[in-house]
Structure 1
Amino acid sequence: MFPFKIALNTSTLFPFKLNVIQQIEIAAEAGYEGIELWMKDIEAYIASGGTVQDIKSALEKANIEFINAIAFFKWADVDIDTRKAAFEQAEKEMQLLESLGCKYIAAPPFGDVEETSLDEMASYFVHLVQIGRQVGVEPILEFWGKAKKLSTLDEARYVLDQSNVSNGKMLLDPFHMYVGGSDFTGLENLKGDQIGVFHINDCPSHPVKEELTDQDRVFPGEGDSPTSEIAKILNNIQYDGYLSLELFIEDFQGKTVAEVAKYGLNSVRNSYSVME
């Protein structure tokens, strides 16, 4: 049984240097139901002469859902002026994303956050969500395993709880859980509707955890992550949203982009199926 939907985070395709239209087409041809695009790729396409309508038309033609955008604005930075600029950047980006039908935007601990308290983060997240909901794009809270603050599932849950945002959501990732020291069983304490998107990848046994980088991620089922256990927990807490393949592999050893996309889809389906 496979109770989830599968999306492709286009970081997986970065080695092929595709524009957003090509990324959308490849994801759809491989059979993905959803896609996560990066703001930098959207902006680069528009800067080179493409239009918002071009992207919107490509999404509609492909019949693929634009589930989330990967963006980097310093919403939790310790500096007030930096945060102000970040909220302005976020609003501008969310307005563009709303016109493309994007559902979520990622809100990771980007910037100088070490001296920002979790309670302060909670209040800043409230402000970010207020902006997003006025625009029509929902910010989802992301933690990074190697961040100076907001590096664990527990910290993210605390921020979300303290923010008291109604129906607030998180973006979760096994890689960040592993390198940040989060216990995977902590997922059991969540409700399925607290997860906006669940990134999919696997962690190799080498190098050691402290030395792992994003580029070391491997396809699900090819590392040491307890994929079947995670899948079972997600199903038990009634998460039925997107599992989105997010890799940063720099060399696919001669595989074509179509082969990589299809292989990734199958690896997600095979490793995250749930035994009935």
Structure 2
Amino acid sequence: MFPFKPALNTSTLIPFALGVKEQIHTAAKAGYQGIELWVKDIETYLGEGGSLQELKRYISDTGIEVVNAIAFWAWADRDADTRTQGLQQARREMEMLAAIGCQAAAAPPYGNVEGIPLVQMAEAYANLAGIARDQGVEPFLEFWGRAKQLNCVSDALYVAQASGVKDTKILLDPFHMYTGGSELSSLTGISGEQIGIVHVNDYPSNPPRELIGDQDRVFPGDGVMPSFDFASQLHDSGYNGFLSLELFREDYEGRSAIETAEYGLIKMRKAYSISWTGSQR
């Protein structure tokens, strides 16, 4: 049983240099229910003469849902002026996302966050969330395993609670859990309602944890990630939302864009299926 909804993060399609409409077409044709678009790709589309209204119609015609966007806002940077600029950027880009029907965007610890107390990051997140929700966009709090701060599940849970932002949702990613040292046990007690979206991928045992990079991510089931246990824990939490395939490969062994997307969906469904007799809510 696959109790989740499949989505495609368009980072997976980077080797094919597709325009945003081609990305959407590929994901929909491959059978995904959702897609995560990168803001920079939307801006490229607009710079080439496209319009938000046209893009929204195209998305509607394909029947796919834009479930999240990937953006980079320095909302928690050490420098006050940089934070201000980051929030201004967030406001502009969220307005754009809302115009195409995207209701969420990732909020990772982008910028210089070294040494910033988590309580200060919580205040910064509250400022970002206020702007986002005014635009009708949900900021999914994301931790990065390599970040100097906000790099693990426990950090994200603390920031979410300390921010005072009601119903804050966290973006989970097994690669960032691995590189930041978060064990599956750190998810104990998290309810499905606290999870905004889950990025799915896998990682090999080599390179070692301290050297592994985004480019080393592999398809679900092709590495050492305990995907079945992760899937069971998500299901037990009550989460039945989107799992989004996020890879950063330079090539896919000769596969075309559509073949890569279709193969990724097969791998995701297999790695994240759970048995009827297994862990259930």
Q: Compute the TM-score of the two structures, normalised by the length of structure 1.
A: 0.99
Q: How far, CA to CA, are the matches of 1:103 and 1:188 in structure 2? A: 27
Q: How far, CA to CA, are the matches of 1:71 and 1:160 in structure 2? A: 19
How many angstroms does 1:44 deviate by?
0.6
How many angstroms does 1:120 deviate by?
0.5
For 2:114, the aligned partner's letter is E
Q: How far, CA to CA, are the matches of 2:24 and 2:53 in structure 1? A: 14
Q: How does 1:125-204 map to 2 (within 5 A)?
A: 125-204=125-204
SS at match of 2:106: strand
| Deviation per residue, 1:52-99 (Å, 9 max, x gap) | 122111210110010100000100001110000110100000000001
How many angstroms does 1:261 deviate by?
0.3
How many angstroms does 1:177 deviate by?
0.1
**Which deviates the most, 214-223 or 161-170?**
161-170
For 2:234, the aligned partner's letter is L
Unaligned 5+ runs, structure 1: none
SS at match of 2:171: strand
1:65 matched residue in structure 2: 65
Provide the alpha-carbon RMSD of the alignment. 0.7
Q: How far, CA to CA, are the matches of 1:195 and 1:271 in structure 2? A: 19
1:258 matched residue in structure 2: 258
How many angstroms does 1:243 deviate by?
0.3
How many angstroms does 1:146 deviate by?
0.4
2:279 matched residue in structure 1: none
Q: How far, CA to CA, are the matches of 1:88 and 1:258 in structure 2? A: 36
For 1:41, the aligned partner's letter is D
Moved over 2 A (4+): none
**Which deviates the most, 28-37 or 52-61?**
52-61
CA contact (8 A) 1:25 1:58 kept: no
How many angstroms does 1:48 deviate by?
1.1
SS at match of 1:151: coil
SS at match of 2:188: helix
2:30 matched residue in structure 1: 30
CA contact (8 A) 1:73 1:89 kept: yes
How many angstroms does 1:188 deviate by?
2.1
Instruction: Answer yes or no: is 1:245 the counterpart of 2:245.
Output: yes
SS at match of 2:36: strand
For 2:216, the aligned partner's letter is D
Instruction: Answer yes or no: is 1:272 the counterpart of 2:272.
Output: yes
SS at match of 1:57: helix
2:103 matched residue in structure 1: 103
Identity of aligned pairs, percent? Answer: 52
How many angstroms does 1:154 deviate by?
0.6
| Deviation per residue, 1:11-34 (Å, 9 max, x gap) | 000000000000000000000000
For 1:80, the aligned partner's letter is A
SS at match of 1:139: strand
2:223 matched residue in structure 1: 223
Q: How far, CA to CA, are the matches of 1:188 and 1:57 in structure 2? A: 41
Q: How far, CA to CA, are the matches of 2:154 and 2:83 in structure 1? A: 24
